[in-house]
């Protein structure tokens, strides 16, 4: 699910230990903050994905517009034909 940070939650055992030592109010506050953080990470990843898809589509459109309709001979082929004719 996380493409850019596999080690995002590498400190979960430490966090769980600290959570056990907290009071109920702090646990609830911590859970809310952690949920907000997770939500922000997911939203940011979705935003980056949308940007990437948009730039890829724009690139594909530019490349499709640059593609020649009629095939063009390469410089080497024209040179080779000129040598054959002469």
In a domain, 3, yes or no: no
In a domain, 6, yes or no: no
In a domain, 60, yes or no: yes
**Residue ranges making up the domain that contains 71:** 12-85
Complete DSSP assignment for 14-77: HHHHHHHHS-HHHHHHHHHHHHHHHHHHHHHHHHHHHHHHHHHHHHHHHHHHHS-SS----HHH
Q: Give pLDDT tens digits for 2-22.
A: 455 555 556 667 667 676 767
Nearby residues of 27 by Cβ (< 8 Å), 6 or more positions away: 19
pLDDT at position 39: 94
In a domain, 57, yes or no: yes
Q: Give pLDDT tens digits for 17-47.
A: 676 767 777 778 888 999 999 999 999 999 9
Number of domains in the chain: 1
Alpha-carbon span 86 to 84, nearest angstrom = 6
């Amino acid at each position: 699910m996380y493409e850019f940070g596999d080690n995002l939650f590498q400190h979960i055992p430490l966090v769980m230990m600290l959570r056990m030592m907290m009071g109920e109010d702090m646990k609830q506050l911590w859970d809310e903050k952690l949920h907000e953080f997770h939500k922000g990470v997911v939203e940011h990843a979705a935003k980056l994905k949308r940007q990437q898809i948009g730039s890829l589509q724009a690139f594909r459109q530019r490349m499709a517009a640059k593609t020649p309709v009629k095939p063009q001979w390469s410089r080497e082929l024209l040179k080779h034909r000129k040598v054959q004719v002469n």
